Structure 1
Amino acid sequence: MPPSFVPVRPGRPAPPTLVETQRAVEETPPPAGVRLPALGALAEFAVDPAVTDLLLDGHGVLWRDAGGGVQPVADLPPLAPDEARRLAVALIAAGDRHLDDATPCADVRLPGGIRVHAVLPPVSTGGPLVSVRIAAAEPWRVDRLVAAGMLDEAERALLTAAVHERRNLLICGPAGSGKTSLLAALLAEAPGHERIVTVEDVAELRIDHPHVVGLETRQPNADGAGGIGLAALVRETLRMRPDRVVVGECRGAEVVELLSAMNTGHDGGAGTIHCADPAGLGARLEALGALGGLSPHALRAQALAAIDLVVQLERRDGKRRVAAVGRLAAGSDGSLCVVPA
């Protein structure tokens, strides 16, 4: 049975094909005044520039985050499971990928700085799930982050000086804490003659800089071939004459390649990592290093030599802010810890 074949029970209409759903998105004009037409049926709910996330839950309810936390969209009735599935398939198809019973999870990038992640049942224990992350209408700059309260003037001075001095940065924090926004804003402070090469799983970084080159991972095809992961792409950057190597998010063996690049003359590099507390950063780095074949001792040595500054972010009461700026150090037991910068 071909992987894309979906059995149809008697009396049940056949699910729309990829071509049909993609055509539906292209031919259905978005409501007037929308700013992100690639979102199709969801575009009208992202008119407000403050909207950063649109989330469809397993009951067909659409939720929206406009800076004050996630709240349900009151003027949209819950979608039926078939409607939710068609929406999820159409959004993923708009990013040139398939979403079906054979491939029930997918992640794509759409025009306008949009990342869409979708999951179908039975992987989803309810109905289809859609998570949309929307980038700011304009690339972030440090001035705007200061005005938004993410960092104060002292932190601004410290971090911009670190960029100008080509220090290696690691930005940490939980999901939705603004890691990508801060990273993009800081990289925009780099001199215009420098070449920034970014590596991401799904391209999200929007950097206001004249010379940015981006690489994005590729998923394997239906036969499991052709995939290119983050670790391989970080190695590719070293052949591209980079002044700064940037990994949008370290979540696996690529952390080893990034630390290696930072330790072999590629100063001014940066990356982000999911970590809710500075006390857990050392263990998190060691776990990722193990995926790349590094022992805890070797990972600690590499990290201490490579990372100059650690920036910890937090999200509290809907606000994103810098919680601490520090540096890595070896604790009394030899493990990694973060001390004030």
Structure 2
Amino acid sequence: MNRRDNRGREHRRLDAVLLETVRESVLAGRGPVTPSTVAAAVQASGKLLGTAGALEAAETINAELNGLGPLQPLVRDPAVTDIFVNAPDSVWLDRGSGLERSAVRFDTEAQVRSLASRLVAAGGRRLDDGSPCVDVRLSGGYRVHAVLPPISTVGTLLSIRIRREETFTITELRAGGMFCEEIEDVLRAIIRHRLSFLVSGSTGSGKTTLLSSLLGLSDPSERLVLIEDAAELNPVHPHVVTLESRHGNLEGGGALDLGELVRQALRMRPDRLIVGECRGAEVRELLTALNTGHTGGGGTIHANTAQAVPARLIALGALAGLSAEAVRLQVASALDLVIHVERSQTGRRVSSLGIVSDAGVSQTVVPALTLTDSGLARGPGWPLLAARLALGADA
């Protein structure tokens, strides 16, 4: 055991020396730091590593200089969607079935902070005592959120969301257990009949995955304009335009929020207008757009249940200066239904579909289809939803 530990310490020491040697070499040269320049620098270092050792060293050092450092091997698993660093010896990941502790370890807290600072800098922002909480998107599909002490009481925190280029078809999602065949038929009909909808659920429940797949069902002749804080939607469709919000620069200028992007999108002749995540004042522009002939649009929203969505919309509308009554009137004519997704021990699944109903002074989401322990149950909203989708209440 002691001999193995000594070998591990010696390997880490050699890596540190080699890393510093290669770092100085590649940074002293001209041009970008690429895997090939790193490999050449490893070979030129004179270390006798052998072919396999040289390849491993080049890969490790390239991850330290350009990638996610010690976390890079976790990205190779296509099932990993999130990585969390809570401490040097506490790294967690999510493959879709809940959080799992990883065997990856950092040597020191300083190493975690250094990685966080480098990733944030690569996104064009700064992580320091003046900006201790930063969120950036990086090339390669990574969305990085970092928090420094003393805001974090346990050390540097890293949360990394991985955007996979692969998009699942609606049939593949059903095969993976996200919903049954009856719900698939309803989801297809929702897109075909251009109902406006929101996908609700908690963080990591599969809202974006489902929304991407649904948008892929849109008619190829339609123009999809997607507005996101960080580009995550990637529907398989021939005509997709994506607008991404922009944070202010170090001087605080140049910011473009989602509300402004929605206004710009209305001038781009969208057939479907989608806000990737409604979480602020942009809900005003989205509801306005859905009330001006832009049917078949929608987005995602954080909510505990489908029935909680009207209250969430009122709270978000308040951020835009809208009264509860103004939000209720807008929602009544803008939104048709809510699709709620949740995560369980068996994975992510569509748990309910509900019709948005306006009953006098109150607004509710009436259950149409609900997944129960005994199977799929039809609720009081089913006859109305079936009629809108031309499915037949007894189908």
Q: Name which of 306, 309, 312 aligns with 2:337.
A: 309
The size of the alignment, in residue pairs, is 318
Report the more deviating stretch, 222-231 or 37-46.
37-46
C-alpha distance in structure 2 between counterparts of 1:62 and 1:225, whole Å: 35
Cα 1:185–1:95 change in 2 (3 A) is same
Segments of 5+ residues of structure 2 without an aligned counterpart are 1-22, 39-57, 369-384, 386-395
Q: Which has the higher helix share?
A: 2
C-alpha distance in structure 2 between counterparts of 1:170 and 1:23, whole Å: 48
Q: Report the 3-state secondary structure (helix = DSSP H, G, I; strand = E; otherwise coil) of the residue aligned with 2:190.
A: helix
- In the TM superposition, 1:1-341 aligns within 5 A as 26=33, 29-31=58-60, 38-58=67-87, 60-74=89-103, 76-317=104-345, 319-331=347-359, 334-340=362-368, 341=385
Which aligned segments of 4 or more residues in structure 1 are displaced greater than 6 angstroms? 22-25
Summarize deviations over 1:85-133 as a string: whole Å, max 9, x none: 0111122223232222222222222233221111111222221111111
Cα 1:324–1:23 change in 2 (3 A) is farther
Paired residue type of 1:64: L
Q: Normalized against structure 2, the TM-score is what? A: 0.75
The percentage of counterpart residues that share the same residue type is 47
Paired residue type of 1:200: E
C-alpha distance in structure 1 between counterparts of 2:319 and 2:173, whole Å: 34
Report the more deviating stretch, 176-185 or 137-146.
137-146
C-alpha distance in structure 1 between counterparts of 2:274 and 2:306, whole Å: 21
Q: After TM superposition, give the deviation of residue 269 of structure 1 in Å.
A: 0.7
Conserved 8 A contact 2:352-2:367? no
Conserved 8 A contact 2:86-2:158? yes
Cα 1:198–1:72 change in 2 (3 A) is same
Aligned to 1:10: none
C-alpha distance in structure 2 between counterparts of 1:166 and 1:26, whole Å: 48
Aligned to 2:389: none
How large is the Cα RMSD of the aligned pairs? 2.4
Summarize deviations over 1:250-284 as a string: whole Å, max 9, x none: 00111111111011011111210000112321211
Q: After TM superposition, give the deviation of residue 333 of structure 1 in Å.
A: 5.1
C-alpha distance in structure 2 between counterparts of 1:197 and 1:184, whole Å: 12
Conserved 8 A contact 2:88-2:112? no
The structure that has the greater radius of gyration is 2
Paired residue type of 1:335: Q
Q: Report the 3-state secondary structure (helix = DSSP H, G, I; strand = E; otherwise coil) of the residue aligned with 2:352.
A: strand
Conserved 8 A contact 1:262-1:306? yes
| Structure of higher RCO (CA pairs closer than 8 Å, 6+ residues apart) | 1
Paired residue type of 1:50: A
Segments of 5+ residues of structure 1 without an aligned counterpart are 1-18
C-alpha distance in structure 1 between counterparts of 2:144 and 2:27, whole Å: 18
Aligned to 1:13: none
Q: Report the 3-state secondary structure (helix = DSSP H, G, I; strand = E; otherwise coil) of the residue aligned with 1:30.
A: helix
Conserved 8 A contact 1:69-1:318? no
C-alpha distance in structure 2 between counterparts of 1:145 and 1:102, whole Å: 44
Q: Report the 3-state secondary structure (helix = DSSP H, G, I; strand = E; otherwise coil) of the residue aligned with 1:149.
A: coil
Q: Report the 3-state secondary structure (helix = DSSP H, G, I; strand = E; otherwise coil) of the residue aligned with 1:302.
A: helix
Aligned to 1:15: none
Paired residue type of 2:184: R
Q: Normalized against structure 1, the TM-score is what? A: 0.86
Q: Report the 3-state secondary structure (helix = DSSP H, G, I; strand = E; otherwise coil) of the residue aligned with 1:335.
A: strand
